Amino acid sequence: METQKKKVGVVCIVGRPNAGKSTLLNMILGQKVSITSPKPQTTRFPLQAVYEDERGQIIFVDTPGIFGKTPDRLSKRVNSKAEEALSSNVDVVVYLIDHTRDRDFEENKALGIVRKTHAAKILAINKIDIKNPTHIVQYKFLEDEFDDVVELSALEGKNIPNLLDAIFRHLHEGENLVDTQTLTQPGLNLDSRMFLSEIIREKAYLFLRKEVPYSLTVAIDETTERDNGTLYIKARILTNQDRYKRMIVGKSGYMIKEISMASRKELETATNKKVFLDLTVEVDPHWVDYLE
């Protein structure tokens, strides 16, 4: 009996900010590799992760949300990284749209970039668990431009198998691109310090909501396992203005305590260790320059 040959390829998830790209990737993988929050620019670099089943292997690239307008250096850097990811050797592009939001300049920018690619294209309509509001009629014309159309809910996991079926149809047969036997988690370009900083940044976003737009990052200065097995993490939240620092710290240090507590709980779950998180806040107007 002839054995089925495996399919492999690189798949790029593209869309405007907050379309649900990171939520979709986490749901596909069955675990968290990409942080999520209601804020734009949560994803700042193309995160690579591997998915594997009996059909073959997919290297997913979760791109930063594409901004139609780039008024600041961070937005420009986010946009350029998304475009760089698409210009690389990609086999399939999953263009994720949020039908609950009106089509605007951000969506047009994302669509323009997708149209330039020569890879197979899948139109993925997200948030079908939400019936109203809907602007689905504004996106119907796109169906003729794409090789496949899949309606799904990244949050609830609905129709994710349908999306994977569509992706595998467009992949080629070949050898695995990475050896998953040597991996401890599916994120390929996410080292331990970056993972720690991303978890803390996510919690800061969730607690601060609209108070601090996206003007912060997290630096990990030290990770040490103590003799008692506790993982000691020394980290700094960097922001660009004193007024943002005051908001992050909060009255009598309330906000930074909340961020620290929530971060510590998730880090303990992720590392399966007791965590001591030494978290402080500093003002550095040049922190954007440190991003790779």
Q: What stretches of 99-206 adopt beta strand conformation (E)?
A: 120-126, 148-151, 172-173
Q: Is 269 left (phi over 0), alpha (psi -120 to 50) or beta?
A: alpha
pLDDT score recorded for residue 96: 95
Q: How far apart are CA 123 and CA 145, in angstroms?
A: 9
Pick the closest to residue 160 from 259, 23, 257 (CA basis): 23
| Model confidence pLDDT, tens digit, residues 170-200 | 999 998 877 766 555 555 445 567 778 878 8
The CB-side HSE value for 249 (13 A sphere, CA atoms) comes to: 15
pLDDT score recorded for residue 257: 95
Once rounded to an integer, what is the mean pLDDT over residues 258-286? Answer: 88
| Model confidence pLDDT, tens digit, residues 196-246 | 887 888 888 888 876 555 578 888 898 888 888 898 989 999 988 888 899
Q: How far apart are CA 56 and CA 50, in angstroms?
A: 11
Q: How far apart are CA 135 and CA 128, in angstroms?
A: 12
pLDDT reading at 32 higher than 70: no
pLDDT score recorded for residue 189: 46
Q: How far apart are CA 58 and CA 122, in angstroms?
A: 15
Predicted TM-score (pTM) of this structure: 0.66
Higher-confidence position of 292 and 288: 288
Maximum average pLDDT range among 34-43, 251-260, 269-278:
251-260
Residues 186 and 49: beta-carbon distance below 8 Å: yes
Q: Which structural domains are found in the chain, ordered by start?
A: 7-182 (3.40.50.300), 192-290 (3.30.300.20)
Pick the closest to residue 150 from 94, 91, 107 (CA basis): 94
